[in-house]
Structure formats: structure tokens, C-alpha cells
A and B are shown apart, each in its own frame.
Chain A
């Protein structure tokens, strides 16, 4: 079991590194997908090895996939809108929502 959990932890750390270091907003969204996948691996691993009654972990995995699809849709729509207004999608450039 711990091999799968270590794999998920390293994948989550890679995604976190990408979220922090990317300037391109699409790169940030792709790194977020990596973090979602690490979470799903954890759910499925615990479902197999630690709580095998019912398939609750796999159900949560399905719900996470659906939520990630919705998040990618809205995120990419926002990226296109920002690109149309600013002619660029570097996350350093549009900081007007900071106060």
C-alpha cells in the first residue's frame, strides 16, 4: 500500500511545484490536473487496501474526475477571456484583483 501512497505524494509534490513556478496560466491548470490525479490515486489505494467494504473510494474518484472536468472548462474559459483582454496569459501580468 505504501508504494502507491508514496507515488501519489511525489506526484502531488510535482504538481505543487508546477503550480508555484509556472507563469503560463495553462501550465498552472495542467499542474492542477496532476494534483487531482494524486488525490484520486490515494482514494483508490485506500479503498483497496484499507477499507474494501463497498466502493466508496472509487465513487469519490469518479466525482473528483467530474469536478476536475468542470474546473478545466471554467478555467480555460477564463484564460481565453484574459487572453482576449490582455493579449497574454502570464499570471504575473494580471494582478488587478490584488488590493
Chain B
């Protein structure tokens, strides 16, 4: 049986990092600082993956999100550079509605989780994850998930070509 009760100090540290920097991402005025806090937040999520025995996913998170996607965001922010000045207001008029909607969402999900945990209706795993994660993931990618793997690579190729075509513009 997997241990359920305690999550330990690293979980609390990482979740504080993730939530605080995530809140900074959506609330700061300067969009460039938001991108830097997004890097913090995604690195914290990678730490959460390590706690959940998903080492390969943590490495992929650091490589793809922190290394590629955030760099792409920062490039786009710099290319649209007149948007980063502090005078421009970054939020629109429905901030209060959105705040209350998200609070209702959070409270309802937490209440649902609390009730279902108290009643004990979750199906709990009776065994641990396999020890050698990366080996099993590689074998699954070549056997059971080979069709989604190929499809997702075609999607990535199509997105790359589409981005080039879109960003090249009319004149070339």
C-alpha cells in the first residue's frame, strides 16, 4: 500500500513556491517580470514531479517548459516591446467577476475533494510505481503508445511549419 497520510516538508516548500510565483504571474504589472516568475513556477512544478516519482517528466518539464517555452515567451515580449511599459494597464474590467468565479471554483473543488476523501471512495493503488521509470517510459513509447507518439510528432511538425508560415509574413 502506498503511504497516504503525510506529504512532508519538501511538498509544502514547493507548493508555496508554485502558488506564490503563479499568483505573481497573473498579477504583476510588468509582463517581463511575469515571464521570470513563470520560470520559477514551472521549476517548482518540476520539483513536484520529482516528489511524485516522475523523474523523466521533471526533466522534460525543465528542458521544454523552462528552457524552450519560457525563452519563446521572453522573445515574444521583447519583440512586442512597447507593451512592457508600466503605464499600460494590464488587466481588464472583469477582474472582480473573475476573482469570485475562481474562488467559487477553488472552494467547490476543495470541498469535493474533502468529502470524497472522508468517504473514502477513491480507488487506491495497491502497488508502487515501477522503479526504473525511464526504461518503462521508453518501452511504452515504442509499444503501447506508438500511435499517439507518431501523431504528436506530426502535430509538432505541423505547428512548427505553421509558425514559420505565420511569422514570415506576406513579403517573403
Interface residues of A (CB under 8 A from B): 1-7, 9-18, 20-24, 26-27, 29-31, 33-34, 37, 40-41, 44-45, 47-55, 58-59, 61-63, 65-74, 76-81, 83-84, 88-90, 92
Contact = CB atoms under 8 A, between A and B. Distances in A.
B155 A80 contact: no
B159 A74 contact: yes
A41 B140 CA distance: 20
Nearest to B4: A1
Contact of B80 (A9, A63, A79): A79
Interface of B: 2, 4, 7, 11, 15, 18-19, 22-23, 25-26, 31, 34-35, 38, 41-42, 45, 48-49, 52-54, 56-57, 60-61, 64-65, 68-69, 72-73, 75-77, 79-80, 82-83, 89-92, 94-95, 97-99, 101-103, 105-106, 109-110, 113-114, 117, 122-130, 133, 136-137, 140-141, 144-145, 148, 152, 155-156, 158-160, 162-164, 166-167, 169
A17 B52 contact: no
B72 A44 contact: no
Contacts of B91: 21-23
